[in-house]
Chain A
């Protein structure tokens, strides 16, 4: 112990420049800690909830848009006339007039058999017996969104020649349903935002706790000459590792749950529900959730470490 060994600084080749340690260099400085805490699991659960909530919100938005776009350019014209022959003649006349109106792209008189089939669940045998007068129904498709002005214009065109004609924009029937869908969509997005905030808080606590647990080590490194970048790199690595694990697990769970729910709804075979399917852009948004979680974890950890180091000289 008496002879001092040759040291690297003795063969002075100029002062080495400390680099921000990455990968193996950071691992050599301080080896990664074992994943023992609950944080990856907490992050996983929260990310799964955000994924499910985001998928729900996007599905609601798609559903609402699909319903509203398919109905927004459609009008229904009813010709109410108890005499079947007169009703048929007025229906044909109405169809002729409608076809000549500017902005009308298609006109279709619904066959009586179709109307009877449609009403049978409610009226039973009475629908086909002729005891209950069924109005003639004409589906009109406009080349643009049907607004109140279009309804008024078509009403005016039919008023003289087709008495008893009633014009309705189909979108009006579903407006309350659409409003409800939009409300649910905002509710789901609200839940997604709240869960995202809870995730941010969990990540912040994780980073803070991880740093508090390692405060002694940080102080030692600090006093040995570690720069803020070096300390941040080492602790960021551990926080990011936990966050990535949690995010991948959470995203997996969330996507699996969304897929299963999608299968359940698809099995209903309802035309309205099928409009709520997720598009590629929606899946990209959902895929961004775990990525945002990891970025948030990194940012939070970075801020936490910077604030803690500010307290030290």
Chain B
């Protein structure tokens, strides 16, 4: 089956618990399709970050199966995960920039980790910083950057290697509404122009209306619901390049 039909990511009856506590996520079954734009919503504590952690390979599920880019994550050896992680771009909730690296070096990290030639790194990072409007702050370290600037550095780092899937955890939580909209447009550009699958976790309902073709997955007490058909199969036609699929 081609990846377009099989999806980038397929969760099959996935559950997650921490230690011996009750499951924080239960019976998640859905498929994320290439080129789609997903919002993951839910109240604080609904399990959004836990679900994203499984998506950006920081957490294995306690049960169920996950396939990503055609590979079985549950049985995949740990040594092969870095290769998969390099296909993802992640904007963490608290940015997670390396504090003693400059904005330039933070953005360059994914390229350098993947062994890109330094000359190309210099050019690409320069262009990327220009793109997010931070070329003049290239040599500043994160503690000297404002929240919005750190956010943009984190986004630049997430997209610099042209990921196949971008995962963003509350990416607009620390910025003013104008900047939030700009960042959202940036994600849309990446989604439309490059075909990157985008998953944005947010509890800001106003944000959802800003991307008309987006699909919404709603988490409530660790269970997923499907208000826009994101989880239906076949994928909803007319979506942003794909659609939901699922159980």
A223 close to chain B: CB less than 8 A: yes
Q: How far is the CA of A259 from the CA of B160 in the complex (A)?
A: 59
Contact with B along A14-28 (1 / 0, CB 8 A): 011111010001001
Within 8 A of B (CB), among A28-70: 28-31, 33
Q: How far is the CA of A104 from the CA of B193 in the complex (A)?
A: 101
Q: Chain B nearest CB: distance from A41 CB in Å? A: 23
B127 touches A6 (CB 8 A): yes
B105 proximity list for chain A (CB < 8 A): 28, 31
B208 close to chain A: CB less than 8 A: no
Contact with B along A220-261 (1 / 0, CB 8 A): 111111111010000000000000000000000000000000
A7 touches B189 (CB 8 A): no
Give the one of A16, A28, A225 with max B CB within 10 A. Answer: A225
B121 proximity list for chain A (CB < 8 A): 8
A6 proximity list for chain B (CB < 8 A): 124, 127
B110 touches A313 (CB 8 A): no
Q: Chain B nearest CB: distance from A228 CB in Å? A: 7
A1 close to chain B: CB less than 8 A: yes
B128 proximity list for chain A (CB < 8 A): 5, 7
A221 touches B111 (CB 8 A): no
A19 proximity list for chain B (CB < 8 A): 115
B113 touches A31 (CB 8 A): no
| Given A2-B185, A4-B131, A313-B59, 17 new contacts (CB under 8 A) | A1-B131, A1-B186, A3-B131, A4-B190, A4-B194, A5-B128, A7-B128, A7-B159, A7-B161, A8-B111, A16-B115, A18-B113, A25-B112, A220-B109, A224-B86, A224-B157, A225-B88
B17 close to chain A: CB less than 8 A: no
Within 8 A of A (CB), among B139-198: 157, 159-162, 182, 185-186, 189-190, 193-194
Between A and B, 14 residue pairs with Cβ closer than 8 Å are: A3-B189, A5-B127, A5-B130, A8-B111, A10-B162, A16-B117, A17-B115, A28-B118, A221-B98, A221-B109, A224-B113, A225-B82, A225-B86, A230-B113
B182 touches A1 (CB 8 A): yes
Q: Chain A nearest CB: distance from B95 CB in Å? A: 10
B113 touches A30 (CB 8 A): no
Q: Chain A nearest CB: distance from B196 CB in Å? A: 10
A31 proximity list for chain B (CB < 8 A): 100-101, 105
A7 touches B112 (CB 8 A): no
Classify the interface of chain A: helix, strand, loop or mixed.
loop
Q: How many residues of B are in contact with the other chain, CB < 8 A?
A: 55
Known contacts A1-B133, A223-B58; is A313 also within 8 Å of B113 by CB? no
B109 touches A29 (CB 8 A): yes
The 5 closest A-B pairs by CB, nearest first: A5-B127, A225-B86, A9-B162, A225-B85, A16-B115
A: interface residue count bin:
35 or more
A223 proximity list for chain B (CB < 8 A): 56-58, 85, 90, 92, 96
B83 close to chain A: CB less than 8 A: yes
Give the one of A4, A6, A226 with max B CB within 10 A. Answer: A4
Known contacts A29-B113, A30-B98, A313-B59; is A7 also within 8 Å of B160 by CB? yes
Q: How far is the CA of A131 from the CA of B49 in the complex (A)?
A: 106
Q: Chain B nearest CB: distance from A53 CB in Å? A: 39
A217 close to chain B: CB less than 8 A: yes
B116 close to chain A: CB less than 8 A: yes
B5 close to chain A: CB less than 8 A: no
B20 proximity list for chain A (CB < 8 A): none
Known contacts A4-B131, A8-B124, A15-B114; is A313 also within 8 Å of B60 by CB? yes
Interface residue from A7, A16, A17, A312 paired with B124 (Cβ < 8 Å): A7
A7 touches B127 (CB 8 A): yes
B210 close to chain A: CB less than 8 A: no
Interface residue from B98, B162, B194 paired with A220 (Cβ < 8 Å): B98
A220 proximity list for chain B (CB < 8 A): 96-98, 109
Give the one of B83, B110, B112, B159 with max A CB within 10 A. Answer: B112
- Select from chain A the residue with minimum beta-carbon distance to B84: A225
A222 proximity list for chain B (CB < 8 A): 82, 85
Q: Chain B nearest CB: distance from A160 CB in Å? A: 86
A29 proximity list for chain B (CB < 8 A): 109, 112-113
Contact with B along A92-113 (1 / 0, CB 8 A): 0000000000000000000000
Q: Chain A nearest CB: distance from B70 CB in Å? A: 15
A313 proximity list for chain B (CB < 8 A): 57-60, 78, 81
Q: Chain A nearest CB: distance from B242 CB in Å? A: 19
